[in-house]
Structure 1
Amino acid sequence: MRAEDLPPDAPGHYQQSHPHPYYIPEKLPLSSRVEIDEDLTATISDATFQLGRIDGISPTVDFSPVLYTSLLRLEAVETAEIEGADVEMDEVYAYHTRQKSGSSGRVSRDLQEVLNAERALSDGFDAIKQGESISVELLKSLHETLLDGVRNEGDVVGEWRDDDVHIPSPRPGQSPFVPPPADHVSELMDSLEAYIQMDGEYHSLVDLAITHYQLETIHPCSDGNGRLGRILIVLQLHKAGYLSEPYLYPSAYFNRNKQEYVETMRAVSEEGQWRDWIAFFIKGIEEQAKDSYERTFELLELRREYEAQYPNQKTSHKLARELFELPYFTADNITDRFDVSRQTAYNAIEELESDGIVIEVTGKQRNREYKAIDVFDILERPVQR
């Protein structure tokens, strides 16, 4: 689209450059009012209901810390996958299990990206819980964590970019989207920070859609913008009172709707189509909150099944009931957790293997590792739409 073709209600303008013009969004707050119609109000209501359900049930389960660790790791895997990483959930659990025993071994670049995303989300959430505001400095710190050990040559880490970036279009033949030049980034990010800290102008979920669009359009970093923006979603949901812990993993929605994600944001920039973007974004929050609730409920039901199936105090029975806190483990983990001999630990594991509850995953004769089949099936299955 040519610069002169932008409609008056587009929330920004093109600045000529070669070979493609820069798009410079207006600073927040928006100069034109976003209209919230009846359908959008219903979408907001549905998302609010689903967020209330997940934040209501999750703290009541007695494996709540493990639950939010699992959901946090799901988010880390999904957000890295959007950027091209290929990592399974059990690889993340395997790393943490081995790290506890001092033998984590070599870490691939893809896995490092996931671990960085996990740490950045955890650090950011903890900072907000402790009263820190969502600020430019916090975002820069999280960006530094995201790119720790995985930066590309020339990347600026922990600071805003000092060069231009180009975002390829998913649509063949369409020119790339070019965010504002580097010398505009600080001013635009400062206005975004101020808008977030003043709690915006609309319903908090609408403001969340607006601020996510703004961050991704500014594209303040040379790399890691998407990962940073998706972390910000979870931090803002906590700040707005929707999440007591990171029980939501929004990246899965954007991952399975990549083209619509990019195109609806571009339609905001070039056509002022806020309604479609906001509806798409909030629908994602609703779907992911619903999915988190359903996974949590299934884990709770599975826990009850195991409690009924393994009622006594044999080590194997105790292990079955502990799989929700220890879904990936070694025999040494069992000896330490239950204060039993290695032989007792192996006997317990073998019983659960024969029952189809756990499976050995390394194929080795020594230093064997096991995972809880049903628990990982619930955690790793595709979203039910």
Structure 2
Amino acid sequence: MFIEDYRAGAYETQTGFKSFIPSPINSSWEWRNTRINTLLEKANMELGSLNAYAELIPNIDIYIRMHIHVEANKSSKIEGTKTTIEEDMLPLMEVDPEKRDDVQEVQNYIAALQYGVERITKDGFPVSSRLIREIHRCLMNGVRGEFKTPGEFRLSQNWIGGSMPSKASYVPPAHIHIPQLMSDLEQFIHNDSIDVPMLVKAALVHYQFESIHPFLDGNGRTGRILIPLMLLHEGLLKKPCFYISEYFDLHRTEYYDALNRVRTHNDLLGWLLFFLEASVSTAEEARKKFSNAVAFVGETSRIARQLSGKTDNLMRVLDVFFEKPVQTAIQLASTLELSTQTVNRALNQLIQENLIEEKTGNARNRVFVCKGYLDIFQA
């Protein structure tokens, strides 16, 4: 089927509103627009460079963890959370009570994404309906959607925008269609008899998943988690270092418009071009951030080693900031199994050298940030 000839689906009349049933996607796909070829070539080249760079960096997992924090914050922000990355990294009880639910949602996103990565890389588990449900259960654990059947496809109607389906901006298919639509989606993911580039497949899967909206809540976040998992499972990524939600957040209006135009104008081409441009930019930015982070860690460590006195504990404290650049003294003492006095002595020395800074201005319950390092990933 040609991308340009795609017909997105049909509307089904229900009581007082119409819901949208997306067309199946388990098919071979072609296109006439040569812009797709150009973007695909560039995206694959950038992903190849990112892969090569990631394999050369010692301790790459430290930097990947920072990428995951940013991904979780940006993907959750698209759904309405309002926390900063610094707040997301604090212990929950240190966060303003009004923001704790948001922080918990972001932390759940990190846990769900890491769970998916481990299922694929360690267990060899495929991207499937079962894995999608497991990720969703992890995502919704103990947060605002915890009573909306986490890990189970919905058995009632949902909608996007508006107070009721008749006023909604989009009404997904009735729940009776979900088993068949999710089966088609899963078959497409694993259909080895069709020759579809993986980035094109990931774009189509994301659109289709968001159109099906199989859960009562958490569909956007689950759908965005699927993108790096698919690329990792198919070997397009060697390391889990590609996270596209930051681009989607920066271009949120275009992101939603591109998805909606497939349903309203059959514009699958427009969505695919947007997704490929996002992929090029995401891979480029990831490589730049890794490069800048490596340079920052090297220079900061060099300065710390030249300080007077014993530097062993100093370097240990600094290394924890490179894993998570927002810390409290109690966190550091627990992580490193050092006394709070020893940790505070190291922190004060790092502050004097402007390698970290204290954010609260308080005498107690202080919060320390390695801002230069954090800014690299927030740029």
TM-score, normalized by length of structure 1? 0.85
Per-residue Cα deviation, 1:143-179 (whole angstroms, up to 9, x for no partner)? 111111124486232111111122239xxxx962221
C-alpha contact 1:71 1:246 (8 A) present in aligned 2: no
My pick for the range that moved more, 343-352 or 315-324, is 315-324
SS of match in other structure, 2:89 = helix
Deviation at 1:17, TM superposition (A): 2.8
What does residue 166 of structure 1 align with?
159
Deviation at 1:335, TM superposition (A): 5.8
1:140 to 2:136 alignment = no
1:111 to 2:103 alignment = yes
2:296 to 298, 302, 321: 302
1:124 to 2:116 alignment = yes
Per-residue Cα deviation, 1:191-231 (whole angstroms, up to 9, x for no partner)? 11111122554111111111111111111111111001000
Deviation at 1:367, TM superposition (A): 4.2
**Aligned equivalents of 2:337 and 2:209: distance in 1?**
50
What does residue 33 of structure 2 align with?
37
What does residue 314 of structure 1 align with?
311
C-alpha contact 1:310 1:317 (8 A) present in aligned 2: yes
My pick for the range that moved more, 317-326 or 119-128, is 317-326
Q: What amino acid sits opposite 1:148 in the alignment?
A: N
1:20 to 2:13 alignment = no
C-alpha contact 2:71 2:243 (8 A) present in aligned 1: yes
What does residue 81 of structure 1 align with?
77
Q: What amino acid sits opposite 1:115 in the alignment?
A: Q
2:264 to 267, 270, 282: 270
Distance 1:367 1:63, change over 3 A: farther
**Aligned equivalents of 2:337 and 2:219: distance in 1?**
46
What does residue 350 of structure 2 align with?
352
Per-residue Cα deviation, 1:255-289 (whole angstroms, up to 9, x for no partner)? 12222222222222233222211010111111111
Per-residue Cα deviation, 1:76-124 (whole angstroms, up to 9, x for no partner)? 111111110112212232228x8xxxx9997811011101110110001
SS of match in other structure, 1:65 = helix
**Aligned equivalents of 1:211 and 1:335: distance in 2?**
45
**Aligned equivalents of 1:95 and 1:182: distance in 2?**
38
Distance 1:343 1:205, change over 3 A: same
CA-atom RMSD, angstroms?
2.8
Deviation at 1:37, TM superposition (A): 2.9
Taking only the aligned residue pairs, the percentage that are identical comes to 28
C-alpha contact 1:316 1:352 (8 A) present in aligned 2: no
C-alpha contact 1:315 1:344 (8 A) present in aligned 2: no
C-alpha contact 1:24 1:179 (8 A) present in aligned 2: yes
**Aligned equivalents of 1:339 and 1:27: distance in 2?**
55
**Aligned equivalents of 2:27 and 2:18: distance in 1?**
22
1:188 to 2:188 alignment = no
**Aligned equivalents of 1:140 and 1:337: distance in 2?**
33
**Aligned equivalents of 2:273 and 2:151: distance in 1?**
32
Per-residue Cα deviation, 1:275-317 (whole angstroms, up to 9, x for no partner)? 2110101111111111111111111111222244334462476
**Aligned equivalents of 1:185 and 1:73: distance in 2?**
31
Per-residue Cα deviation, 1:225-254 (whole angstroms, up to 9, x for no partner)? 100100000100101212233212211111
What does residue 209 of structure 1 align with?
203
Distance 1:308 1:380, change over 3 A: same
SS of match in other structure, 1:16 = strand
**Aligned equivalents of 1:366 and 1:317: distance in 2?**
21
**Aligned equivalents of 2:333 and 2:105: distance in 1?**
32
What does residue 54 of structure 2 align with?
58
TM-score, normalized by length of structure 2? 0.87
Distance 1:343 1:21, change over 3 A: closer
1:150 to 2:143 alignment = yes
**Aligned equivalents of 2:170 and 2:271: distance in 1?**
17
C-alpha contact 2:69 2:110 (8 A) present in aligned 1: yes
**Aligned equivalents of 1:316 and 1:151: distance in 2?**
41
What does residue 376 of structure 1 align with?
374
**Aligned equivalents of 2:257 and 2:301: distance in 1?**
48
* Long gaps (5+) in structure 2: none
What does residue 169 of structure 2 align with?
176
